[in-house]
Structure 1
Amino acid sequence: MTTFLTMQKEQIKMQYQTKFALRDFAGKPLGYYLVDREDLGASNATTAVPDPSEHILVIDVSGSMCGDIADMRSTIEKLLTLEEFNNDALKVSLISYSSHGDCRIHFQKVTVAEVMAPGSKHLAEIRKLNVRGLTGISQALQVAETLIDDKVTTCISLHTDGYANDPSPYSEAQHLVAVANAIAQHPRAFCNTVAYRANCDFPLLTALANKLSGRCIQAQGIKQVYQALHDTTALLASKVAPVIEAGIGNADFVAFVSRSGQKILGGTESLKVRGVAESDDKLLFRYRKVTEADFNASSAPLDEGLPLLAFARVQVALGNLNLAKYAMITTRNKGLRQHARALVGSEVAAMTADLERHLFSDLTCAWATEYGLGATGPAILDVLGLLTEYQKSIRVNVKALASGYKRRGLKRVAGTRLADGTIEKPKYDLKPKGPQGEWIALSGVEINRANATANLRLVQDANLVAVPDGTVIPEVAGIPLDLKSFNNYTVVGDGVINVPVLPIRTSDKRCFQALKDKGLVTGEFNPEAQLDLDLSKLPVVGYDAQFDIPVGTFERLLRLTVVQKVLGGMLKEAAPPSLTPEQVTALKEHCLSPALYFSSPTCNPYADLNDAIAKGEVDTRVSYNVELGTLEITSAEKLKSGNAYLQRRFTRKDGQGKEIDKPTLDLALADGQWGVKALTAKTKLDAVDALCYPIYEAFLGTGNRPFLTELVVELGWDAADLHDLEIALGHLTGRCPEAAVETLTKLKGAVGRALDETYRTVVAPLAFYVGSTGLVPDAFGALALTAEQLLKAHPAVSLSKAEKEEGVFYEIPGGHLLTVTTSTENFSTEAGVKVASAL
């Protein structure tokens, strides 16, 4: 343990140039920098008479502030009570804002003494603050800008708990840029921002503070709000330094740091620093990127402390999250490693707060001796790929695996919860054949399509048994039952290693040798020996992985997904060609699908989920979702269900010509006729309609079928396959649906395989990389964008509520958009598993 930033402290005081090598998560150098450090000094201004100053409070009173507004009122009053003794000549203005057009000046340029006077109408205005409407920030800043007097030092304190969204995120983003530029023209004004709640638009607020020479505070509670306001009034009560012109010179990047003033600013252009006390320390860092040869030739000392922390903090404000994280990890500060995967607003805010704590004070922390994240060896994703290649030879010691296993989902129990709260057990269950052994066969490795989660799928032979006597049922409706029992175990969950040691054995000497080549096993091959694969120190993915997302990839995925929805709906109730409807019904009654997969009803074992959370039986975790999309359709989640889109654009008449209300796709196998719904003035067609309509039209037979030719080509089918498909669809409209089932089932399988292949080879690896590292591949050169920034650049983009509140967006090559959001997932604790098992 050592005090951070004390390394080479005396040497740095004597040297005006230092250097560092920026490194990636694997510890490999990415770039080399020479840093010119200029100490602007601090004067003893404790006895100086402070300049006249003003404080403009800009308070968010939108509806979402309902839980905070009472504390906000009392905090302002408490602050001004204190200032009445310290600086009663300070002039204060109070502005509140909510929806567009609702912005009020409660009082302006009133001294603290006047505000706090007995019977003050100004104090009454503070006490009347209440919530009302949406969040229109720009209008309030525009009003605040009109109150700035260039003869006095002015601080605007902007408070908000949400996103600038009224009249729209796009217009707000435009107006905020304009008003920020206007405020920046005032030589003695600066703006601090205070972000309430974890899901507010922290990237926007920190960028605004950086542009306007202020600070951005992520307030976790009212105490931090008070401290932020108090720090501002204390500064205004002191002797404020004149505007500092921080020229960038021949550098690539410049940062200003005041540790005592707790201010950090920076950018790729010269800075004008305002809002710093004369008594505060003032440091300038000018960064110049150089070649490796010039770096090695320089005699400047290595400094991986303050210059790197300042570099990281400013990169956050500029939206360069990858660079910020590389600088943070290059410090080798172990305490900062926890933020390596920060992606969404609340996590970036926590990372920023931690960077500032280390930047502004000498904290005690642990140092790593090595660069990077300390993970070495083959990537776990590559190891899982190897296991997939040899899966037929691999068995897993499930008892050893379960001993240290962490459950990641809610434990469910077989049965249906009745109205009285009791659980009715199903009549049938699936039990492994023979005694439960330790070694279970590996059936495959499943990589999640949208997050960094990988599961082992284990399989064993099983019997269908009656409940409760356990009688084995060898066949149903004359169908012999050759059943399998499947269980999934999460090896990596949301980028975190969930199985530190994976106990396996293999009967294939090639598999053993491949594991040995990766350094995972030693010794000689023994097909009966347990091999403990230590995953705990391995990187989840290769940090230097390369990705290529071909143009049109997402459009292909969308087309195939829509076809899958249509076919799935059509064939939902269809019996396979080999079975009669009566056999399918009998299988369903025994909890079996026509493909002989067992699926009994299950339910949540906790009657009251909130009560289970309170008792510690259920806990929550954060899950990352990484979605590929385009600017037209940001993710496949925007697609409606098969029947929902059908009901939006199409109609159905039964065999007697009667209109069917809310038709479903499975009616394709019944007597009747499809039609096209007439558009109304309320129907707004969008990109989803442009995609879905011709596909539905082709399968329902309501128009031309050029899409079928495109689909057949895309799947690699030939003219004969197209002919069979057209005949099959003709059978549907020709009232002979049974003849179509076999061809449509074949098509459904081909579409599913094509989807799986594209996700497996193109999409899932990228989602896994982003979700596990918190990085977007450097080769993409993509900046992190908030919803507001995305809408500013592309006003027509349609975003969901979750995307607007917590989404981070990256425009990547191939015309694609990468969207990262989070969701909260429940999981059963050990206590919760015991409760479920006892039912």
Structure 2
Amino acid sequence: MTNNQICLVELIQIFTQYRNNIIVNIKHLQEHYQRTGIKRVKGVRNENGELLQPWLRTEYIDNAEYVSMGDFQFNRNTATINMLIKRKVKLAKFEDQTPTIEVAGLLVNDLNTFNNYTIVSDGKINVKSLVVKISSKKAFDLLKEKGILDAEEFDFRAEHTIQLDDLPLVAANSCYSSIDGLFNELAEIKVLTSIICAQLKKESDVFIEAQLDEFKKHYLSKNIYINFPTATEYTDIKEALANGTLESKLSYKIDIGSQDILNLSKLPSANKFLNRMYRFYDKETGEVIVKPSFEMAFNDNLVVRHRLLSSRTKITKVDELMKPIFDDFLGLEQNGIVGGILNKVGADSLAQLFQDQQSGKQISKEEMIAALTAAGNNLEKYADNIYQDKISPLVFCIGSTGLLPDQMQAKAMTVDDAAAKYPNLQFSKDEQEGTFFAVGDSIISIYAKTEYYSKLISVGVDN
């Protein structure tokens, strides 16, 4: 059915609105699905390259033909849309399928597993159609009005095949929000989120260390997500490309940056920056901790100081962005930047604890872990909303059409043009072949990167 009244993005908005009233034929989806990434299998390889299976496996609690409509997610820097489907599973021993009911005092007989299905990959339809059933007459009427359904009358028992490959990806008259200032806001959030994640790597606001160890033995994260080790099916990528197990493709990346920092990937991890700019010392002995990490931040016997930098150390714009946040978080300078970020995202409890700490009040480790955990969730949610509302739709439009939206008037620049005009920018090998646009105070970069994917159609896949 050819239809120009609705684009795929608008259809996905309808799916999202009525996701509780639409179920998807998962068997049809799996049978017609083409993997867009490299297939990975559960297990680890030993020194001889042999795959060692985990001692546990998962089994679907249901073997249903239909599952709930998944959550749709736009990729942050490619024209890609994924549908994340959640299903209930139980853990069982690999050898004899004996079920695992309890781990560390917690029932684990109805865990969730998440499978990602790529609907659009780099601006191209990857799932041509979905077979669905609809339980809401309102949803049926809306989809019929938009020309998506052929059926005349609503019937909750009926199967409907919704063609996706007939639809334009984006509407011709789409409008996009200004991106001025968004990069710096996201960069500050990313830095603070990275610090909190590093500090909480082995901590939980719910479980003690012994419970976390039990979870790890049973391939569970501290958030009770299944986390099996995985390996590629092949052991030699050149051989896999030669025999057709793998294929290569060009993926076009669209990044948002500032006139000083090209994109968020230029920001190092919290522990890497900590090693570059700071040192921990033992309060009593003065001993220097050679490789400091944020996991040590709960150790009362340690004190942090700025690292003495050599004259050859070049301070970059990334350093200038990150250092004030680190200084404030580590208590070396009370500049208010961390409190400002936390208050903006609604993490008031952690902001208050930092104020109390700076005024000399003793804060318990348990109280700090709880506040850090809540703040980390708030920071991630705030950043997700910015991407969902303002950046991902723009990235998808550029990646699927190859053009900037009409309202963004900007002249294309080569890497030489961009480097000459904005000398603080640093470019990776792939980015050096890209095209750049100055839009307000932001830089939009578009560049190609070679990626690999498993060639054969796969059933029951995770990307």
Partner of 2:104: 477
Deviations 1:693-746 (A, max 9, x none): 11111211122141133113422455x663234346889x96843331000111
Aligned-partner Cα distance in 2 for 1:508–1:756? 29
Aligned-partner Cα distance in 2 for 1:763–1:584? 36
Equivalent residue in structure 1 for 2:450, among 824, 834, 838: 824
Equivalent residue in structure 2 for 1:554, among 173, 180, 183: 183
Partner of 2:366: 738
Contact 1:430 1:465 in 2 (8 A): yes
Contact 2:42 2:229 in 1 (8 A): yes
Equivalent residue in structure 1 for 2:313, among 660, 683, 696: 683
Equivalent residue in structure 1 for 2:381, among 748, 753, 759: 753
Alignment CA distance shift 1:582-1:375 (3 Å): same
1:505 aligns with 2:133: yes
Alignment CA distance shift 1:734-1:658 (3 Å): farther
Aligned-partner Cα distance in 1 for 2:82–2:246? 22
Contact 2:3 2:147 in 1 (8 A): no
Aligned-partner Cα distance in 1 for 2:143–2:321? 46
Consecutive unaligned residues of structure 2, counting only runs of 5 or more, are: none
Alignment CA distance shift 1:582-1:722 (3 Å): same
Contact 2:259 2:442 in 1 (8 A): yes
Aligned-partner Cα distance in 2 for 1:729–1:380? 51
Equivalent residue in structure 2 for 1:701, among 317, 331, 352: 331
Aligned-partner Cα distance in 2 for 1:378–1:629? 32
1:628 aligns with 2:256: yes
Instruction: Trace 1:253-268 onto structure 2 (pairs within 5 A).
Output: none
Contact 1:377 1:539 in 2 (8 A): no
Partner of 2:400: 772
TM-score by length of 1: 0.52
Deviations 1:121-176 (A, max 9, x none): xxxxxxxxxxxxxxxxxxxxxxxxxxxxxxxxxxxxxxxxxxxxxxxxxxxxxxxx
Aligned partner of 2:91: which letter? L
Aligned-partner Cα distance in 2 for 1:511–1:729? 54
Deviations 1:751-796 (A, max 9, x none): 0000000011011001000011101112111122110122233334
Aligned-partner Cα distance in 2 for 1:441–1:793? 51
Alignment CA distance shift 1:504-1:701 (3 Å): same
Aligned-partner Cα distance in 2 for 1:388–1:742? 32
1:532 aligns with 2:158: no
1:468 aligns with 2:95: yes
Return the offset for 1:812: 1.1
Deviates more, 1:793-802 or 1:689-698: 793-802
Contact 1:630 1:817 in 2 (8 A): yes
Q: 3-state SS of the aligned residue for 1:801?
A: coil
Contact 1:728 1:743 in 2 (8 A): no
Contact 1:620 1:826 in 2 (8 A): yes
Aligned partner of 1:821: which letter? Y
Partner of 1:710: 340
Consecutive unaligned residues of structure 1, counting only runs of 5 or more, are: 1-373
Aligned-partner Cα distance in 1 for 2:171–2:366? 50
Aligned partner of 2:456: which letter? E
Moved runs in structure 1, 4+ residues, more than 4 A? Answer: 728-731, 733-736
Aligned partner of 1:678: which letter? L
Aligned residues: 456
Alignment CA distance shift 1:730-1:646 (3 Å): farther
Aligned-partner Cα distance in 1 for 2:245–2:229? 22
Q: 3-state SS of the aligned residue for 1:679?
A: coil
Aligned-partner Cα distance in 2 for 1:717–1:600? 32
Aligned-partner Cα distance in 2 for 1:743–1:765? 32
Alignment CA distance shift 1:771-1:591 (3 Å): same
Aligned-partner Cα distance in 2 for 1:512–1:418? 53
Return the offset for 1:552: 1.1
Deviates more, 1:752-761 or 1:737-746: 737-746
Contact 2:350 2:372 in 1 (8 A): no
Aligned-partner Cα distance in 1 for 2:357–2:20? 38
Instruction: Trace 1:364-379 onto structure 2 (pairs within 5 A).
Output: 376-379=4-7
Aligned-partner Cα distance in 2 for 1:756–1:729? 30
Aligned-partner Cα distance in 1 for 2:134–2:102? 34
Contact 1:497 1:535 in 2 (8 A): yes
1:563 aligns with 2:189: no
Equivalent residue in structure 2 for 1:450, among 77, 95, 98: 77
Alignment CA distance shift 1:581-1:649 (3 Å): same
Partner of 2:222: 594
Partner of 1:617: 245
Aligned partner of 2:264: which letter? A
Contact 1:699 1:729 in 2 (8 A): no
Equivalent residue in structure 2 for 1:808, among 417, 435, 440: 435
Alignment CA distance shift 1:655-1:464 (3 Å): farther
Equivalent residue in structure 1 for 2:409, among 781, 784, 791: 781
Deviations 1:603-634 (A, max 9, x none): 01101111111111111111111000111011
Q: 3-state SS of the aligned residue for 1:778?
A: coil
Partner of 1:413: 41
Equivalent residue in structure 1 for 2:64, among 427, 430, 437: 437
Superposition CA RMSD, Å = 2.2
Identity among equivalent positions (%) equals 30
Contact 1:432 1:462 in 2 (8 A): yes
Q: 3-state SS of the aligned residue for 1:701?
A: coil
Return the offset for 1:485: 1.7
